[in-house]
Structure 1
Amino acid sequence: MSGRQTSFLAQALQQGAGALRSRQFDLAERIAGDILKSNRTDRNAVLILAHALVGQDRAGEAIAPLERIARRSDDGEVETLLGALLCKSGRAADGIAQLRRTIARRPPYLPSFQELAGQLSKAGQLGEAISVIESGLALVPESVDLKVDLGRLLHESNEFAKALEVLTIARDAAPGRPDVLIELGRVLILSGDYTAAADAFRHVLAQRPDDGSVRAYLATCLLEQGERDAGEAALRAVMRGGPHLLGRAAFVMAASSHGRFFFDMSEATKFLGGKST
């Protein structure tokens, strides 16, 4: 390939990636398709095409081009996306088999462990999903991403003490990471440590002040600590995020041992500062 062709290809790939980022999936598909007309096995173009097709709910069409790339080389990213799309397209057995082959490759490609665990979890195989993440951590024990996934899966399987241990280690390794703090806070609520949970959620809100879901978790902590005024103020702040959050706010208020319950949802809306319909 000449220098001019290489430059043109790089520019086209950059445009395709930009179209994906701006969610112009049809444009990204066209750009990737033009590249693939001259080279059916251009890895980067195939990845752009696959993500563009997924964005248009046409995941099944991405399988064949991904399979072509996967047959040519050991590419963890391609194989992981292929496995995910096989599962998404109703071929879960094939997708899980592909992901099992990918996690066996070395060096390990960590997203493949996460994808396989996620698919197993969806299938109700929580124990096996946990084992997959643990096998990844045995290879890369410093991975905070895998620790968060393990904590989340342990939470789902009601192993709260183990989840708390894992997520505390993850928090200490990556202070301030919102995903770690949110998952840790959720487990702390279930463990009854509302003070520590509130602290975790406050740290997240310092970075993401408009996150209504996290503010609702903070409200839960405040109400359970008996700080009714502060908790209800937090729920009013949640409501300012939009009327679609009324259900979440009303549930938090009603479920708390120090909350309030309204038989009439319009009264709950009025109390929380929303507009009654």
Structure 2
Amino acid sequence: MAQASSSIASSPASAQLGTWGKIIRTLRREPGLVFGIALLAILLVMAVFPWLFTPHSPVGVYIERAMQAPSWDHWFGTDDVGRDVFTRVIYGARVTLAICAGSLLISAIVGGTLGLVSGFFGGWTDQVLGRAVDVLLSFPPIILGVIITGVLGPEITNLVLALSIVYMPVFFRIARAGAMSETGKTYVEAARSIGVHDGVVLSRHVTRNVLPLILTQYIILFPLILQIQAALGFLGLGVQPPTPDWGAIMEQGKDYTLYAPWISVFPGIAVLIAALALMLVGRGVQKRMDQR
């Protein structure tokens, strides 16, 4: 009894040691992944709770504070109308990351669904969808984004639509390749032989096995769509003032680069840090998926 009670008492401690051991092993094997997750966690906390990091308003105009250099009162300085740049960068994280995440989610859902249908059924369905996707792939992503936002106009809805279309072909091709690979496997043939409808096989089995590929691609593409979103904002085709957005803030500061570079430099650094964090996480996840 004494031995049993001691083993029960020591089991939580051993489990805790096991958890810490896994964390330490992960740190040693994949320090980049851990560092990326830490950076990404900080960015997400800032995006969700921006008021915890700054007391200033992101849209308030204070002409008397205009063009002040970075100081203890304004860590990133102020812009041409006196707005605190640090505050606008913090609040801009919410806008920028939300637009990128939402746009990429639409791309994954629409492109992935069409790719699954195309790869699973083949035939004329695959031919029609494949040719349509080839047309979109013929344009570089940034050029396609500029064309769509330039035609539709610089609004958030149009920006989300443009970004969604830009990377939809990538998810289509990933899902199509995965569906074609799964369609030839034994479990699909067995399901069809006992009379299971193709729609059931596709939705319940093939999609489940292809979904990890789509999720991995989502993480890998996130830093790329972040850069395109910032580039469109810098060109004046993204979020419009006074809404804080990293690309839009850089665009507002481009006329003052020589004597107030902080207006554009700090949101540019924010884009760089976010892209680095997402790239590290994406590489780590891809490595894990390849091992599996």
TM-score, normalised with respect to structure 2: 0.23
The answer to which structure, 1 or 2, has the higher relative contact order (CA under 8 A, 6+ apart) is 2
Pick the structure with greater CA Rg. 2
TM-score (ref. length: structure 1): 0.24
